[in-house]
Amino acid sequence: MTAAATLPPEINDASAWYGPAMLQDQSWLTHFTPDEVAEVEAAMRRIASGPDAVAAQLTPADFPLPILGPRLAGIRAEVLDGRGFALLRGLPVKHWSLRESAIAFLGIGSHLGSARSQNARGHILGHVRDMGLSSNDPNVRIYQTHERQTFHTDSADIVGLLCLQVAKSGGHSALVSSVTVFNEMRRRRPDLLAHLLAPIETDRRGEVPVGEKPYFTIPTYNWHDGHLSAIYQRQYIESARRFDDVAPLTPEQVEAYDLFDALCNDPALNFHMVLEPGDVQLVHNHTLLHDRTAFEDWDDPAQRRHLLRLWLAPKQARSLPPVFAQRYGSVTPGERGGIIVPGTQLTVPFEAV
């Protein structure tokens, strides 16, 4: 029996795309219509006039979008069951305050899924900015720096970004299909691909739920219920080796992850997009990996690169294997994902902290 015969089958659906084709066919890029912007702004103004606590618990009923809402449902279906990503352009964030932009984003997000905590402090709204930190600190996550992130997944079904301000240079978004990477590894080196279907320790970077180890142990690729789902962050796999009960990577594992990374970084597979202020990007973490290039920021703090982030759990999401509960807390669609540690209380920081 060949090595490939023991692996999940090659996948040939809309999620198995190649970057150059995505650049040519930009059907993933759509614009908010004037009527959609108007109803988002009207709903946002109603919420903005009330207390922050209301904005932190928005539901679709709180934030009615009779025109945009049905279109968001179709976009969500394409993200979950199709190509795995979408970009909506044209929110007038330059005319809104930071709080107003955040409320608008939270309201749009409520139509896509349940917002999940993104860190140990329970923040359901993330501020992606350079905080002057370094990923050399094992308790720092890379989005808090100006460094390149490298291709990875986040700990939720969907990650959404709203671009408020761009860097002086760099900071571009890159996407690659983890399904395409799987297919390529299966064709080229099925023996190495087998290592990515075995459990691997990944560092929690100091954000440890009750009763859990400081790392989780989930295979990079997971075949379950007819779906291939990926979970990956190479830097955190390597930093997990700092724990006494975690073995060093074997030469075969290093070779497997090196090939995986090389394929992710291959321009024949990935592609880059430049986010503009007012863009909303949605990415399915189970079938895509995303990256951000390193960037140089402006000297003026008021001009510096700034994105808002949501981790979303749609009820319509695919089933996941039980092992994902180590990271997601649950595998129940609509109730899974995010980071919950002792003392966590969900909150919305309207200012970058």
Residues 188 and 282 sit within 8 Å (Cβ to Cβ)? no
Q: How far apart are CA 263 and CA 182, in angstroms?
A: 9
What is the rounded average pLDDT for all residues in the chain? 91
How buried is 70 (Cβ within 10 angstroms: 0-12 exposed, 13-18 middle, 19+ buried)?
exposed
Residues 282 and 112 sit within 8 Å (Cβ to Cβ)? yes
Q: Are strands 295-296 and 85-89 parallel, antiparallel or unpaired?
A: unpaired
Q: Which residue has the tokens 């996941």?
A: 320
| 55-86 residue pLDDT tens | 778 999 999 999 999 999 999 999 999 999 99
% of the chain with per-residue pLDDT over 70? 90
Q: What would the mean pLDDT of 145-166 be, rounded to a whole number? A: 87
Least reliable range by pLDDT among 92-96, 180-184, 208-212: 208-212
Q: Between 152 and 4, name the one with better pLDDT.
A: 152
CATH 3.40.50.300 fits 27-328, yes or no: no
Residue 132, pLDDT above cutoff 70: no
Handedness of CA 249, 142, 157, 9 (dihedral sign): negative
User: How many helices (H) does the chain have, and how many strands (E)?
Assistant: 10, 16
Residue 134, pLDDT above cutoff 50: no
Residue 1, pLDDT above cutoff 50: no
Predicted confidence at residue 183, as pLDDT, reads: 98
Predicted confidence at residue 53, as pLDDT, reads: 73
In the chain, how long is the greatest CA-to-CA distance?
A: 66
Q: What would the mean pLDDT of 143-166 be, rounded to a whole number? A: 85
Closest among 226, 242, 232 to 321, alpha carbons compared: 226
Predicted confidence at residue 345, as pLDDT, reads: 83
Q: How far apart are CA 296 and CA 316, in angstroms?
A: 39
| 320-351 residue pLDDT tens | 999 999 999 999 999 999 998 887 888 888 87
Q: How far apart are CA 279 and CA 269, in angstroms?
A: 23
Q: What would the mean pLDDT of 254-275 be, rounded to a whole number? A: 97
3-state secondary structure of 58: coil
Residue 168, pLDDT above cutoff 90: no
Closest among 99, 115, 113 to 51, alpha carbons compared: 99
Q: What would the mean pLDDT of 108-112 be, rounded to a whole number? A: 98
Residue 143, pLDDT above cutoff 70: no
Q: How far apart are CA 237 and CA 153, in angstroms?
A: 12
Provide the angle, in degrees to the nearest 10, between the axes of the packed helices 68-81 and 34-48: 100
Predicted confidence at residue 138, as pLDDT, reads: 62
Bridge partners of 123? 347
Residue 333 has which token pair?
A: 């669609």
Predicted confidence at residue 344, as pLDDT, reads: 80
Q: Domain residues of the chain, as ranges? A: 27-328
| 267-316 residue pLDDT tens | 999 999 989 999 999 999 999 999 987 756 556 777 678 999 999 999 99
Phi, psi (degrees; rounded to nearest 5) at 57: -130, 40
Least reliable range by pLDDT among 15-24, 42-51, 64-73, 228-237: 42-51
Residue 232, pLDDT above cutoff 50: yes
Q: Between 210 and 171, name the one with better pLDDT.
A: 210
Closest among 53, 326, 77, 47 to 214, alpha carbons compared: 326
Q: Is 263 left (phi over 0), alpha (psi -120 to 50) or beta?
A: alpha
How buried is 349 (Cβ within 10 angstroms: 0-12 exposed, 13-18 middle, 19+ buried)?
middle
Handedness of CA 319, 162, 208, 196 (dihedral sign): positive
Handedness of CA 248, 254, 256, 257 (dihedral sign): positive
Residue 332 neighbours by CB under 8 Å, 6+ apart: none
